[in-house]
Structure 1
Amino acid sequence: MHNQEESYWTTRYKEHSTGWDIGYPATPIKTYIDQLEDKSIKLLIPGAGNGYEAEYLLKKGFTNVHILDISEIPLQEFKKRNPTFPDTHVHHANFFELEGQFDLIIEQTFFCSFVPTVENRAAYAKQMAALLKEKGKLVGLWFSIPLTDDLEKRPFGGDKTSYLNYLNPYFTSKTFEPCYNSIPPRQGNELFGIFIKK
């Protein structure tokens, strides 16, 4: 899956077919970041793309931010914009093969980016838990749109119940509700969640 996924996303970036890229940090995630007080926590943003949320974290003074993407192109763009960002915090890798321990993982609709088989979605939940320290948090946005049989059309959808079925074995849900402050094009199509590792 790794090589196919890398080729797919790299092609999308090369062709500038990046409709998901809003060009700034998503409002719900920005709002969540604004209330975080400990700037030393170790954070991961998987499927970070151009890394606008990571950039915002840097501006807010967070010192231990890591970004991951399966395509090297957006990571290179991020590094151009943020030349002092540590190379060791930029992970050109397959999320499912990453190792490490984080206090917080920010989910920016990454769940909806890969082929939505039961195996992949179960592996996502398991890997998220494995990457978090004890009582670590998984926080962010999940698309609340129908999941169809079209495996070419991304983002892949899902609903609150199906997401919880995957996440509940590993996480306690603090909140998981329709997002009140989505950007206008995504209004009514996002869930905001805060999950704590069991």
Structure 2
Amino acid sequence: MPEDRKPRRTRSNGEESRRRILDAAVEVASERGYDGTSIALVSASCGLPASSIYWHFKDKDDLIAAVIERSFASWLEAVTLPAEGTPRERITAMSIHIAKALLDSPDFLRLGLMLALERRPTEPRARTMFLEVRDEATRRIADTVREFAPELDGASVHLLTTYAVASADGLFIAKEIGGDTVDLLALFELHASLVFDALTGLRAGNRKSTQEHS
């Protein structure tokens, strides 16, 4: 019987250690960035020896990639269009859900943007993961555009999707810089309204173009 309990106890301890390491990595990386983060600093922050960190993660890059992956799961869940309401209400609700997810778990976008804006001879796995999961979020937003405006051509969908994602990045950066003086929820609500108006304008332009060529 004691032998049956041992694996469960070991697994539980391992999960708790992994959580502590990831939490410490977020704290260190948020203060020092990717290049300033080291296994030694994470070890000092979480109180676990470096050997424990290397037991869970191959290297620093693997650790930062895990940080991004963990927070991305909750963030991506917010990039889901509600089923109820008018088109404007549904887009606004999704936008606010994204803003709340960023407030609850900002490390995904904070660390990801740092990595995305930097170029290195060897691309870190963490940067690759951020770009991959970001592409998935972008596809979801493009699907939302197509749902409300199936008549739009690919170029228009890409234009509006790029604008929506880039604008959201800017609002997040404004919050990072401005801190408590910036109301991210209000900004994302405004952002949703502007995106919806842009969508409406593109649809009207598409209909006019179709009529002129018919």
For Structure 1 versus Structure 2, the TM-score category normalised by the shorter chain is under 0.3
Bigger Cα Rg: 2
> TM-score, normalization: structure 2?
0.25
Q: Which structure carries more strand by proportion?
A: 1
Q: Which structure carries more helix by proportion?
A: 2
> TM-score, normalization: structure 1?
0.27
